[in-house]
A and B are shown apart, each in its own frame.
Chain A
Amino acid sequence: MNKQPNESRRSFLKNSTALAALTLAPSAIIKAAENDDKIASLFEKLPLQMEINGVPYKLTVEPRVTLLDLLREQLGLTGTKKGCDHGQCGACTVHIDGKRINSCLSLAVMNNGKKITTIEGLANGDNLHPMQEAFIKHDGFQCGYCTPGQIMSAVACIKEGHANSKEEIREFMSGNICRCGAYPNIVDAITEVKKGGQSL
C-alpha cells in the first residue's frame, strides 16, 4: 500500500464534513488515514441504502461512484450497460422510483432510499416481462448490448403514455441508440405491447 504522504487525500480530509462528527483532532486522523486505507475509506465513503429489484442493499460508496458503476462493478448487476458514460446513448437506462433515467449520470449516493429497477428485475422469475417477450418476437436487437436500456426505456415509454403512435414512440425512444439499427423492430415490439394493454 501507499505509504507516501498523500496530497489529495490530505486536502480531501481537511475539507471533509465527516470530520465534524468525530472527536479526534483532524490532524491525527489525517495522519492515520494517510497510512491506512481502511481508515481512509471511512472518510472516503458514505453510507447508502437502497432497494434494487426488490432486494434491500446497505452499502458504503465513494461519492464519485455513479449508479451505473455501482451496479456493474460492485454489485455484479451487469445487465445495465455502459455505452458512452455521458448520458448520450441510453444503454444504462434504469428505473428510479419508476422513472427511467441514465444511471451513468446519477451519483449513487444521491439515490439513498430510492427503489431501483434494472433489467435483471423486470422478469417475474422465469416468466419474461411482456416487453422482453415482444423484443424476442420482433427481433428487437442484434448484438444485444443496447437491449436492456431499450427495454427499460420502452416499458417507461408506455407507462408515461408516450406510445400512442409509431411516430410518438420513435420520438420518445430517441434517447436509446441502437448501432445495429434494430429501431423498426423495437418500435414494432413496443406497439404490440402497448396494444396488448398488459399491466407493466
Chain B
Amino acid sequence: MINFDYIKAVSAKAAIETRAKNPASQFIAGGTNMVDLMKKGVTAPELLIDITALPLRQITANANGISIGALALNSDVAEDQSVKTKFPLLAQALNAGASAQLRNMATVGGNIMQRTRCTYFYDTEMPCNKRAAGTGCGALEGYNRMHAIFGASNTCIAVHPSDMCVVLAALDATINIIGSKAERKIAFADFHRLPGDAPGLDNNLQPGELIESITIPNNNFNQSHYLKIRDRASFAFALISVAVALEVKDNIIKSARLAMGGVAHKPWRLTTTENFLTGKSISEKLFADAAVLSLQDAKTYQHNSFKIKLGKAAIIEALTIATK
C-alpha cells in the first residue's frame, strides 16, 4: 500500500467536501473491503476519509418501517430487536454473510458498496474491465463457476457478493443519499447497476455522494427464509442464495417477494415469479413452476451451468422452508 493520507471527518458535510476536492480519495468505515482491496492493489486511494465518527449509526423503528444508519454495524443490525422481530429475513441474511468478526467491523453502507469477489477483478495481473477498463473480462472464457447467469454483458460477468443486499432488494428498501448539492432517495433495486458497457460502475452513487441510511417499509410477510448455498457450511460466498418473503393466509399466497444472490451484478429481484405466486395456493407443483419461471432467462457460461439446476432447487427449498 502507498502511504496514503488519512483524515477523520467530523461532519458529513466535511466528508463530502473533502471527497469532492480529492479525486484520489475514498471513504472508509469498517474497512473490511477497502483495506483488503488496497492490500491487493485493486484500489490505491491517496487519501482515506474516515467517516466512522459521523452520527449515522442509529437503528430506528417507527410506524412506517425501520431506518438503519449507514454506519450501523452488520452485527448490530442482526442483533437489533426490532430487526429480529419485524424483519427476521434481514437478520438471517446478515448472519449468513462473512464471519462474526467481519460483521462486527462492516457497516451497512459498506456492505452495500462492497465490490465483487471475482477472482479476475482481485488479481491486478489479470484482465478485468471492471478494474481496468478495456483490458477484457478474464472470467468470460475463464473459470466462471461463481459468475452471473442474469443480466451480464460481454464486458463483465461478475456478481455482487452481498447477502444483506438480496434481502433489502426483496423488501423494497430505499437508500437515502446525501451529496454536496442535495439529498436524494433511490429504490434499493435501482441502486446497483448491471455491467453493460461500463462495468467499472457498480452502482448509481455519484462521486461525492454518501449513503446516509436505508429505510425498509413495514410489511405483512408472515413467512420468510433466506437460503444460502455455498461451497462450505459457513464463511463462504454464495453459489446461489434466495430470499423469500411471503404473506400467506389460509394456504394462499397474498403477496410475495423473491430475490436471488450470486447470480447477477446486482441483487436479482424475481418480480415475474412474485406475480406468478400471488393469489395461488401453496403446493409442491406451484413451487416447482415458480422455480422454472425464475430461471427461464438465465444464461450460463462454461463452468456455471449448474446454477440453473441449483437455482431452481434453491427456490423450491427456500419456498418450502418459508412455508413449513
Which A residues fall within an 8 A CB radius of B?
Answer: 8, 11-12, 15-18, 44, 46, 62-64, 66, 85-87, 90, 93, 99-102, 105-107, 109-110, 112, 153, 156-157, 160, 162, 170-176
Q: Which of B2, B3, B38, B234 contacts A171 (CB 8 A)?
A: B234
Known: A16-B5, A64-B3, A64-B4. A87 touches B46 (CB 8 A): no
A50 to B: closest C-beta gap in Å? 14
Set of chain B residues within 8 Å of A172, measured between Cβ atoms: 100
Please report the total number of B residues contacting A with Cβ < 8 Å.
Answer: 36
A64, B101: Cβ atoms closer than 8 Å: no
Which B residues fall within an 8 A CB radius of A?
Answer: 1-8, 22, 24, 28, 31-32, 35-36, 38-40, 46-48, 50, 52, 75, 79, 95, 98-102, 104-105, 233-235
Question: Could you list 28 A-B pairs, sorted by A, with CB under 8 Å?
Answer: A12-B2, A12-B4, A12-B5, A15-B24, A17-B5, A17-B7, A62-B3, A64-B1, A64-B2, A86-B36, A87-B99, A93-B101, A99-B75, A100-B101, A102-B101, A102-B105, A106-B35, A106-B105, A109-B6, A110-B52, A153-B101, A160-B79, A170-B234, A171-B95, A173-B100, A174-B233, A174-B235, A175-B102
In the complex, what residue of chain B is closest to A45 when comparing beta carbons?
Answer: B3
B99, A12: Cβ atoms closer than 8 Å: no
- Docked CA distance A11–B48 (Å): 15
B101, A90: Cβ atoms closer than 8 Å: yes
B5, A63: Cβ atoms closer than 8 Å: yes
A100, B50: Cβ atoms closer than 8 Å: no
- Docked CA distance A156–B75 (Å): 13
Number of interchain pairs (Cβ within 8 Å): 102
Q: Which of A8, A18, A100, A176 contacts B2 (CB 8 A)?
A: A8
Set of chain A residues within 8 Å of B100, measured between Cβ atoms: 100, 153, 156-157, 160, 162, 172-173, 175
- Docked CA distance A90–B235 (Å): 11
Q: Which of A15, A112, A175 contacts B22 (CB 8 A)?
A: A15
B231 to A: closest C-beta gap in Å? 13
A85, B39: Cβ atoms closer than 8 Å: yes
B235 to A: closest C-beta gap in Å? 4
A139 to B: closest C-beta gap in Å? 23
B104, A63: Cβ atoms closer than 8 Å: no
B8 to A: closest C-beta gap in Å? 8
Set of chain B residues within 8 Å of A17, measured between Cβ atoms: 5, 7, 47
Q: Which of B79, B95, B101 contacts A87 (CB 8 A)?
A: B101
B39, A106: Cβ atoms closer than 8 Å: no
Q: Which of B7, B8, B22, B99 contacts A174 (CB 8 A)?
A: B99
Known: A15-B22, A171-B234. A46 touches B101 (CB 8 A): no
